[in-house]
C-alpha cells in the first residue's frame, strides 16, 4: 500500500502549484528517494519481485519520467534516474517502454554537466537500465530486433551529445556505455555513429578538416584500445559487413541496400542499420566520406601502437582463440576489396574515379596491416582457411598474401615449414579445373587463380622443396597434365611450365619417371606453332622449362636429344632475328642450354646428334646451322686431347660433308652462303687449334685432296678455310704452305682475264665468285708472307708466285669498285709483304722492275683509276710506294696524263723522304 501512496503524492507534486518552487522540488526528491529505498530493500540483488509484494501495474514509471521532464533541478533529475535504474532491474519491460525519453534527457542535460555527482548518476543509470534491455532481449525473441533498434538509438544519443560533453568525461562515459552493452556486440555501432557524426559535421576549411579528423581519430583509437583485441577485431568485422551492404552511390540505394552480408535478414532488422546510416537521409558526398573515414580508421587502428601492443602481449591461448576472428576479418576485407575494385572499373570515366582509387588503396593498406599483424603460425592456418572460401577473388588474394610472405621471409621453423608444405594439396585443388560449364568471366577468373596457385607451388618448391621432395611429386604430375593438354589456356600452361622448371631442379632423379610424358609435351610446345610466336611469355616459359630439365637430367634425355637440339637451334635463330622485348632473356636462356649441351654431354652422344641435326637443317633450315655449329665449336674447345684423338676421324668426316655446303647451294645468295659457311669454318678451325702437327698434317692433306673435284665451288671454300687457318696458326702454318704455292699460282693465272669467270664457275655469279676467290688467295698468301720466319720464299717459290701476283694489277674482273677494293685492300698488302719476305736483292730488283712495267699499262683501271671519293689513284704507283721501303729506288717515266704525273711526283717525294737524298738526277 505504501508504494501506491507514494506515487499518489508524487503525482500531486507534479500538479501546478503556487507554493514555493524549492519546497516542491525537495518534496519530489524525498518521494523519489523513498521509492528508491523501497525498491532496494525489496530487491537488494536486483531481479523480479513477487506481485503480492510489489505490483507492476501500481509502479508508475511514467510519473518518474514526468518528474525528469517537468523539473529543471539537477538533484531531482538525479534521484529520478537512480530510481529508474533500480526499477529497470525489477520491471525491465515497463522501463523499456519509456527508455528513450530518459536517455534523450540525459543527452541534452545531465551529460553536459561537469561534476562528479552527475557523472556518477550517468554511470549508475547506464549500469542499471542497459542490463534490463539485455534481459528483455533474452526473455523474448520477438522483441530482440526492437531492443537492438532501441539500443542503437541510445548509442545515437550518446554520440550526438559527445561534442557537448566535457572532454575529460567523454572517454569514461563511452567506455562505460560500451562495457555495459557488450563491446563485441555494440562497439562497432558506436564507432560507425561517430564516423557518421564526423562525416556530416566537419568544418569547411581543409586545414580545419584535417585537424578535426586527426583529433577524432586519436580519440577513436583511445576508445577502442580500452577493449580486448578480440572485441576490436569483432567490431572491425561488423564494420566491414556494414560497408559491404551499403550501395555504391545514393541513387542505387533502393536496389542495392541490404544486398550484402546482412541482405538475407528480415526487414525489421534492417531498421537498426538504417539508424546507423540512412542512405536516403544523406547526400552522395556524405556517403563517400563516411566510407572513406571508416576504411581509413581501420588502417590507423591496426597500425596503432596500442593495438599492436595488445596483439604482441597475447599468449598462445588467446592467439588460438583469435584465429577464427582474424580469418573472418581477412575474408570480409577481401570481399570488400573485390567490391571496391569492381567500383573502380565501373567508375573509371566518372568524376568519382579518384575517390574509388583512393578508397581501394586504403583498403589494401588495411589488408597489409592485418597481414603484418598475423603471427606466422596463425597466418598459415588463416591462409589455408581462406583458400577454401567460396569467392574466387578471396582465394586468389589469399594465395597472393602467401606468395608475398614466401618471397620476403627467409627464416622458418620446422613446424611452420611442415604446415606450409601441407598447403600443396589445397593449392593443387585450385590448380585443377572446376567441373561443369562456367561463363567466360568465371573461366577467366579461374585461369588467374590457377596461375596464382602454380606460382605459389613454385615458391614453396624453391623455399622448402629440397627437404620435402616427396610432397612435390603430385605437383610435377599435375603440371605435366596441364602442359600435355593442347586445349589448355596458354597463360596457365606457361605458369605450369615455370613450376615444372623449379620442381624438376629440386626433385632431380625423382623426376625421371615423368620424363616420357614431360619431354614430348615440352618439345611439342616448342614446335613451330603460330601461337608460340604470338605469346612471348609462354615461349620464354617453355624455354625455361627445357633449360632446367636439360641442366638437371641431361644424361637421361638421350631419346629426345635430337629434337631438343633442333628446337634450341631454331629458337636461337628466332631470337637473333627478333626485336621483341623478351628476345634478350630468351637468348640468354638458349645460350645457357647450348653451353650445357656442349660441355656436359660426352662426344659419343653429342657428335652423332649434331650430324643428324645438320642433315635435318641443311635442306630448308639453313639459318639454324649457326647455332648448331656454335654447340659443336664449344664442345670441341672443351674436349680433352685423348677425346679429340679418338673422335678426330668422326669429326673429319662430318666437316668434309659440312664444307660442301657452298657446293651444294651454288645458286643461293653469296652473302647468305658465306655466312653459313663461316660457321662451319670457325668450328673446324677450333678443332685445328687443338691438333698436333702430325694430326693436322693428315687433316690438311685430306682437305687438299678434297678440293680436287669436278666442281670449282670447293675452291672458294678451301681458299677461305686456309686463309682462316693461316690467320690462327700464324708461323706454324708456313710449315705446310709449300703445298699451296703451285695451286695458288695456278688459281691466280686461271682467274686472270675477262673469260676467267666462265672458265671457273658455271653459274650467273661467276665474276663475284672469281673476285671472292682472288680475295681469299691474296689474303692467305699475305698471312703466309707476314708470319714467315723460315725463309719460305725460296727462288723457285718466288718465281712461281711473282708473275701471277703482279699480273693481278691487270686483272680487272668485276666492277671498278670491286677491282679497287681488291687491289688496295688485298693485292697491294700481299705484294708488299711478298717483297719483305724475298730472300735476296736480285729478286727485289726484279720485283721493282716488273711493277714499273705494270705502271705503263694504258688501261684506265690500271693506270689512272678514279676512286669513290673522287681522288686519282694509280695502283701501280701506290704499289711502288709500298715496295720502296724495302727495295732500291726504281726509275720512273714521264706520262702524258697530268693526273698520273701528279701521282708520280707524290711517289718521288715520299721516296726522297724515305731515302734522305734527291732523286731528280735520275729523271
Mean pLDDT computed over 191-207: 76
From its phi and psi, is residue 791 left (phi > 0), alpha (psi between -120 and 50) or beta?
left
d(CA 719, CA 703): 11
Grid cell of 899 as nine digits: 693526273
Higher pLDDT, 513 or 265: 513
Q: Is the pLDDT of residue 263 over 60?
A: no
What is the 3-class SS of 565-590, one letter each residue?
Answer: HHHHHHHHHHHHCCCCCCHHHHHHHH
Query: What DSSP element (H or E) covers 873?
Result: strand 872-873
How do residues 745-766 score in pLDDT, each as one tens digit? 999 988 887 566 666 776 667 7
d(CA 819, CA 843): 27
The distance from CA 22 to its chain's CA centroid, rounded to whole angstroms, is 81
Please give the DSSP secondary-structure letter assigned to residue 108. H
How do residues 340-386 score in pLDDT, each as one tens digit? 888 888 888 889 989 999 998 999 899 888 888 887 888 888 888 88
d(CA 231, CA 226): 10
d(CA 893, CA 563): 70
Beta bridge partners, 872, equal 866
d(CA 362, CA 729): 71
d(CA 739, CA 745): 11
Q: Where do the DSSP E strands lie in 412-513?
A: none
d(CA 101, CA 98): 6
Instruction: Tell me the whole-structure pTM to 2 decimals.
Output: 0.72
d(CA 622, CA 613): 11
How do residues 276-304 score in pLDDT, each as one tens digit? 888 888 888 889 999 999 999 999 999 99
- Res 857: pLDDT: 58
CA distances from 234 to 185, 192, 313, 369 (A): 8, 14, 18, 16
The number of CA neighbours under 13 Å toward the Cβ of 426 is 23
Our CA dihedral for 82, 85, 87, 93, rounded to 10 degrees, sits at: 150
Confidence of residue 255 (pLDDT cuts 50, 70, 90): very low
Q: Is the pLDDT of residue 890 over 50?
A: no
- Using a 10 angstrom Cβ sphere, with 0-12 exposed, 13-18 middle and 19 or more buried, the burial of residue 667 is exposed
- Using a 10 angstrom Cβ sphere, with 0-12 exposed, 13-18 middle and 19 or more buried, the burial of residue 703 is buried
Mean pLDDT computed over 472-480: 95
d(CA 904, CA 785): 28
Mean pLDDT computed over 615-625: 90
- Res 815: pLDDT: 83
d(CA 33, CA 12): 16
333 and 373 Cβ atoms separated by less than 8 Å: no
d(CA 226, CA 235): 13
- Res 898: pLDDT: 58
Higher pLDDT, 636 or 57: 636
Confidence of residue 266 (pLDDT cuts 50, 70, 90): very low
88 and 65 Cβ atoms separated by less than 8 Å: no
How do residues 16-64 score in pLDDT, each as one tens digit? 654 555 667 777 778 777 877 877 777 766 566 665 566 666 677 667 6
CA distances from 176 to 120, 127, 179, 183 (A): 11, 8, 5, 10
Q: Is the pLDDT of residue 912 over 50?
A: yes
* CATH of region 375-552: 1.25.10.10
- Res 143: pLDDT: 52
Amino acid at each position: 500500500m505504501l508504494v501506491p501512496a507514494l506515487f499518489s503524492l508524487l503525482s500531486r507534486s507534479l500538479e501546478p502549484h503556487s507554493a514555493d518552487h524549492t519546497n516542491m522540488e525537495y518534496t519530489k526528491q524525498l518521494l523519489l528517494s523513498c521509492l528508491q529505498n523501497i525498491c532496494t530493500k525489496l530487491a537488494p540483488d536486483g531481479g523480479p519481485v513477487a506481485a503480492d509484494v510489489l505490483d507492476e501495474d501500481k509502479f508508475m514509471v511514467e510519473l518518474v519520467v514526468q518528474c525528469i521532464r517537468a523539473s529543471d533541478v539537477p538533484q531531482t533529475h538525479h534521484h529520478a534516474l537512480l530510481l529508474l535504474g533500480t526499477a529497470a532491474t525489477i520491471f525491465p519491460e515497463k522501463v523499456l517502454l519509456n527508455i528513450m525519453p530518459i536517455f534523450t534527457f540525459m543527452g541534452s542535460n545531465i551529460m553536459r554537466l561537469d561534476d562528479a555527482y552527475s557523472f556518477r548518476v550517468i554511470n549508475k543509470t547506464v549500469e542499471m537500465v542497459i542490463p534490463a534491455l539485455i534481459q528483455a532481449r533474452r526473455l523474448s525473441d520477438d522483441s530482440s530486433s526492437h531492443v537492438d533498434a532501441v539500443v542503437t538509438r541510445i548509442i545515437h544519443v550518446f554520440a550526438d551529445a559527445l561534442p557537448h560533453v566535457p572532454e575529460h568525461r567523454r572517454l569514461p562515459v563511452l567506455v562505460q556505455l560500451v562495457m555495459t552493452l557488450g563491446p563485441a556486440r555494440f562497439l562497432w555501432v558506436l564507432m560507425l555513429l561517430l564516423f557518421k557524426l564526423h562525416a556530416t559535421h566537419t568544418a569547411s576549411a581543409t586545414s580545419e578538416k584535417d585537424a578535426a579528423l586527426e583529433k577524432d581519430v586519436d580519440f577513436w583509437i583511445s576508445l577502442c584500445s580500452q577493449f580486448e583485441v578480440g572485441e576490436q577485431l569483432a567490431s572491425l568485422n561488423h564494420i566491414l559487413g556494414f560497408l559491404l551492404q551499403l550501395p555504391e552511390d545514393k541513387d542505387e540505394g533502393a536496389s542495392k541496400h541490404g544486398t550484402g552480408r546482412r541482405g538475407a535478414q528480415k526487414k525489421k532488422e534492417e531498421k537498426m542499420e538504417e539508424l546507423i546510416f540512412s542512405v536516403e537521409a544523406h547526400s552522395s558526398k556524405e556517403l563517400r566520406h563516411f566510407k572513406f573515414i571508416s576504411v581509413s580508421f581501420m588502417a590507423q587502428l591496426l597500425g596503432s601502437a596500442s593495438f599492436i601492443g595488445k596483439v604482441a602481449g597475447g599468449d598462445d591461448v588467446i592467439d588460438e582463440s583469435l584465429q577464427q576472428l582474424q580469418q573472418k576479418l581477412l575474408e570480409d576485407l577481401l570481399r570488400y576489396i573485390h567490391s571496391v575494385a569492381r567500383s573502380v572499373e565501373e567508375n573509371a570515366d566518372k568524376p568519382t574515379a579518384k575517390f574509388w582509387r583512393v578508397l581501394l588503396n586504403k583498403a589494401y593498406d588495411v589488408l597489409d596491416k592485418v597481414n603484418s599483424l598475423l603471427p606466422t603460425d596463425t597466418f598459415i592456418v588463416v591462409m589455408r582457411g581462406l583458400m577454401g572460401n567460396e569467392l574466387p577473388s578471396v582465394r586468389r588474394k589469399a594465395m597472393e598474401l602467401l606468395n608475398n610472405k614466401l618471397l620476403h621471409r627467409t627464416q622458418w621453423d620446422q613446424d611452420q615449414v611442415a604446415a606450409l608444405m601441407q598447403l600443396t594439396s589445397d593449392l593443387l585443388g585450385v590448380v585443377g579445373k572446376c567441373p561443369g560449364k562456367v561463363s567466360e568471366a568465371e573461366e577467366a577468373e579461374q585461369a588467374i587463380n590457377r596461375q596464382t596457385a602454380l606460382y605459389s607451388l613454385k615458391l614453396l618448391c624453391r623455399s622448402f622443396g629440397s627437404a620435402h621432395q616427396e610432397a612435390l611429386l603430385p605437383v610435377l604430375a599435375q603440371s605435366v597434365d596441364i602442359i600435355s593438354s593442347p586445349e589448355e589456356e596458354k597463360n596457365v600452361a606457361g605458369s605450369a611450365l615455370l613450376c615444372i622448371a623449379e620442381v624438376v631442379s629440386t626433385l632431380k632423379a625423382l623426376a625421371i619417371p615423368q620424363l616420357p610424358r614431360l619431354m614430348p609435351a615440352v618439345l611439342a610446345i616448342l614446335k613451330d606453332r603460330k601461337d608460340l610466336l604470338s605469346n612471348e611469355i609462354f615461349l620464354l616459359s617453355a624455354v625455361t622449362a627445357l633449360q632446367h630439365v636439360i641442366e638437371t637430367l641431361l644424361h637421361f634425355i638421350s631419346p629426345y636429344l635430337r629434337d631438343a637440339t633442333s628446337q634450341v637451334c631454331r629458337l636461337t635463330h628466332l631470337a637473333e632475328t627478333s626485336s621483341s622485348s623478351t628476345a634478350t632473356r630468351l637468348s640468354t636462356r638458349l645460350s645457357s642450354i647450348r653451353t650445357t649441351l656442349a660441355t656436359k654431354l660426352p662426344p659419343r652422344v653429342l657428335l652423332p646428334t649434331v650430324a643428324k641435326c645438320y642433315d635435318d637443317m641443311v635442306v630448308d633450315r639453313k639459318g639454324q646451322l649457326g647455332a648448331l655449329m656454335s654447340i659443336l665449336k664449344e664442345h670441341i674447345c672443351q674436349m680433352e686431347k685423348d677425346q679429340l684423338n679418338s673422335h678426330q676421324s668422326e669429326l673429319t668426316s662430318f666437316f668434309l660433308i659440312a664444307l660442301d655446303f657452298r657446293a651444294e647451294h651454288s645458286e643461293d645468295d653469296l652473302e647468305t652462303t658465306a655466312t653459313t659457311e663461316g660457321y662451319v669454318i670457325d668450328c673446324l678451325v677450333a678443332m685445328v687449334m687443338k691438333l698436333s702437327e702430325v694430326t693436322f698434317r693428315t687433316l690438311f692433306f685430306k682437305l687438299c685432296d678434297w678440293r680436287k673435284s669436278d666442281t670449282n665451288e670447293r675452291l672458294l671454300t678451301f681458299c677461305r678455310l686456309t686463309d682462316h687457318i693461316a690467320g690462327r696458326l700464324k708461323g706454324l702454318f708456313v710449315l705446310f704452305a709449300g703445298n699451296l704455292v703451285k695451286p695458288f699460282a695456278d688459281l691466280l693465272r686461271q682467274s686472270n682475264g675477262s673469260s676467267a669467270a666462265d672458265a671457273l664457275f658455271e653459274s650467273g655469279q661467276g665474276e663475284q665468285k672469281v673476285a671472292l676467290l682472288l680475295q681469299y688467295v691474296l689474303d692467305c698468301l699475305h698471312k703466309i708472307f707476314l708470319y714467315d720466319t723460315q725463309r719460305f720464299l725460296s727462288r723457285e717459290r718466288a718465281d712461281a708466285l711473282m708473275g701471277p701476283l703482279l699480273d693481278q694489277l691487270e686483272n680487272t674482273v668485276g666492277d671498278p669498285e670491286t677491282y679497287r677494293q681488291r687491289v688496295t685492300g688485298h693485292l697491294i698488302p700481299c705484294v708488299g709483304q711478298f717483297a719483305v719476305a724475298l730472300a735476296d736483292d736480285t729478286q727485289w730488283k726484279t720485283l721493282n722492275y716488273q711493277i714499273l712495267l705494270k705502271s705503263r699499262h694504258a688501261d684506265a683501271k690500271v693506270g689512272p683509276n678514279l676512286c669513290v671519293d673522287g681522288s686519282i689513284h694509280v695502283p701501280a704507283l701506290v704499289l711502288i710506294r709500298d715496295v720502296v721501303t724495302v727495295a732500291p729506288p726504281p726509275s720512273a717515266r714521264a706520262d702524258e696524263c697530268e693526273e698520273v704525273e701528279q701521282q708520280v711526283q707524290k711517289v718521288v717525294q715520299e721516296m726522297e723522304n724515305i731515302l734522305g737524298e734527291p732523286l731528280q738526277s735520275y729523271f
